[in-house]
A = this chain, B = another copy of it.
């Protein structure tokens, strides 16, 4: 996993080949193919590995920790770029990462609805339910990443995300 991430960080998603990863870990390409039959399968494994590291114990995540996570993400463009590029490809028919992302987003929306419920109860100050606010929270996280990756000088992802949290929390409908 670490070798794969290093190769992706150096060459980008399009440039990262299974051959380069195999060389880095001292396997033949045949040997690597035994574990990961395709480049996409390897990338999905890297993403699942990232999820495992980023995961917080249920009930421990809070909105302010989410803001800190965005700040942390702004310091690791390589994995965010990999994630964003693969999310983009995943919406095409039959993509090997599609099931991973569909399942992941279902879980992330549910987890964030719980975070919002812990913070605000069954209604946010705006009147939105946690379940209706959660997809917006996910959309802002993903959407800001694209704008930031394309133009890091113009887009301050962390402070824009804090602006959104202010919108969510201060609204009085």
Mark A residues whose CB is within 8 Å of B. 12-15, 81, 84-95, 98, 101-102, 105-106, 109, 126-128, 132-133, 135-136, 138-144, 146-147, 149-151, 154-155, 160, 163-164, 166-168, 170-173
Contact = CB atoms under 8 A, between A and B. Distances in A.
A173 B25 CA distance: 54
A88 to B, nearest CB: 1
Given A92-B13, A93-B12, A105 B150 contact: yes
Interface centre among A81, A90, A92, A163 (most CB of B within 10 A): A92
Give the copy number: 2
Contacts of A168: 167
A139 B156 CA distance: 13
Contacts of A141: 143
Contacts of A139: 139-140, 142-144, 146-147, 160
B92 A150 contact: no
Contacts of A88: 84-91, 146
A124 to B, nearest CB: 9
Contact of A95 (B14, B136, B160): B14
B105 A132 contact: no
Contacts of A138: 143, 147
A144 B86 CA distance: 16
Contacts of A155: 135
A106 B153 CA distance: 11
A89 to B, nearest CB: 6
B163 A136 contact: yes
A37 to B, nearest CB: 18
Nearest to A172: B172
B92 A85 contact: yes
